[in-house]
Structure 1
Amino acid sequence: MGADALVILPTYNEVASLRDVVSRVLEIAPAVRILIVDDASPDGTGALADELSTVDERISVIHRAGKLGLGTAYIAGFRQAIAAGYHRVVEMDADGSHLPEELPHLLAVDADLVIGSRWIPGGRIVGWPRHRRAISRTGTVVARLALRSRLRDITSGYRVFSVDALRGLDLDAITSRGYGFQVEIAWTLERTGHRLAEVPITFVERASGRSKMTIGIVWEALTGVLGWGLALRIRSRRERGARPPR
């Protein structure tokens, strides 16, 4: 584990969990750097992030003017990682759902995108009722079928990217702002032939705060997946129709 990795923690009202998550990340992976991207949290998360950054030079903060969405927060972090010359970028939730203690397992895999998967052997979810498991599993299945993806957990938000892979993407073309961002960027890398891998993780339901999932976020993700899937099939038909007869 080298100092080439930047861990991006998007935050909105995570004052109750942020200090613990940051501490655990730096304890298990002391060579990484952490970038907190705060969307003007009214609960004081931004102030806490500033406090943490003043006592540890491995921590930096981006303050944004409002709640601009998970996808745009990560893209802001990607751009900073590219500009600063990092080799890898980590996506991780700031609410404790993604266990920092599992980060070394993701960093140990050599791939353009390493996904922490809940739905492969060894992966599991702690603290979710059956209906939430069913919703998550159904969303994953729909995305896999619509996009013809081989990824078992394309919606997972615990990830490690190669900065070289991110550098080759048109980040301005990524349209999703919410959780659909995870699907869009993974599928973009998959269909462009990048090396993808999945590592089993334990996903733990947050101990404090509220989930950021809303009907609007779910709708954006669903319409995005179905739209990309339709475009994929239309393009495939056109390509088949353009082939000369044998």
Structure 2
Amino acid sequence: MIEPVQLPPPWCDARVTVVVPTYNEAGNLPVLVERLLALPLPALHILIADDNSPDGTGDVADKLATDHPERITVVHRPGKEGLGRAYVDGIGRALDAGADYVAQMDADLSHPPEALPGMLGTLLSTSAGVVIGSRYVPGGQLDEAWPLYRRALSGWANFYVHSLLRVRIRDLTAGFKIWRSDVLRDIDLGRVQSNGYSFQVEMHYLATRLGHTVLEVPIRFADRLDGTSKMTTATKVESALMPFRLRSKHRGVGRD
């Protein structure tokens, strides 16, 4: 586990909301919340968007919110509608509540919460609109436990999307990032239609189309220790088709 960066005031007091979508993450969520609340970011808020998890994740989230009412909000969604829809809902609520910066991260502990202060510092010290915790820039790592087929699938997915969309981001499918709120408003969540993991690609694509600077910083991506992956065949098919749809759908957005 890395040691979090100690940011100076007023940076350490920035109003950051971390949006965490959940589905069957009852075992991981308390650990993630404990690590997030331990960060040297006293104004950090956590918004958990649960898709009616049958394993009781929503109840776990409610208990955490009861224990930390000033720092945790829980959104109970009607059912499993996918990662993208949960993020659109959660990010929209974070913006409505006045967050200056919005972070995205998975609930399965694959993203190191301790990297978040450093990512915020990079965002605040540059003109970047979003900072990505990247597996594929120098210094980035994949968990040694990742099997070869997962490494190959992830690498191929990034190469495939790069080839079609020509976006200069190494980790286009990354799910760990922090945004400026004005950039999210410029993107306009209402135009984002992707679900599953292609949601990440669409957000990155729109940010670059609109001229916002995207920076990547290295992280170590860990393998989950509890629960199972939510990657389905339908998700893979959607991700394969999405670059073609994005080029057509967003042709009039931003640059030519």
**1:43 aligned counterpart, secondary structure:** coil
Aligned to 2:122, the other structure's residue is in SS state coil
Same amino acid, percent of matched pairs: 44
Query: Aligned ranges for residues 53-64 of structure 1 at < 5 Å?
Result: 53-56=65-68, 57-64=70-77
Pairing 1:65-214 to 2, within 5 Å after superposition: 65-110=78-123, 111-126=128-143, 127-214=145-232
Residue of 19, 24, 30 corresponding to 2:35 = 24
Q: Which has the larger radius of gyration?
A: 1
What amino acid sits opposite 2:19 in the alignment? I
- Are the equivalent residues in 2 in contact too, given 1:81–1:163 (CA < 8 A)? no
How many angstroms does 1:84 deviate by?
1.3
How big is the alpha-carbon RMSD for the aligned residues of Structure 1 and Structure 2? 1.5
Superposed CA deviations along residues 126-185 of structure 1, whole A, max 9, x for unmatched, are 120111101000000111111011000010000101100011122121111111000001
- Give the partner amino acid of 2:148: R
- The runs of 5 or more residues in structure 1 that have no matched partner are 240-246
Task: Tell me by how many angstroms 1:26 deviates.
Answer: 0.8
Aligned match of 1:243: none
SS of corresponding position for 2:221:
strand
Measure, in 1, the Cα distance between the counterparts of 2:53 and 2:249: 37
Residues in 1 aligned to 2:224 and 2:25: alpha-carbon distance in whole angstroms: 10
TM-score by length of 1: 0.92
Contact 1:13–1:41 at 8 Å: present in 2 too? Answer: yes
CA distance in 1, matches of 2:40, 2:165: 35
How far apart, in 2, do the equivalents of 1:167 and 1:133 lie? 34
Deviating 4+ runs (over 2 angstroms): 226-232
Task: Indicate how the Cα distance of structure 1 residues 38 and 129 shifts in structure 2: closer, same or farther if over 3 A, else same.
Answer: same
How many equivalent pairs are there?
235
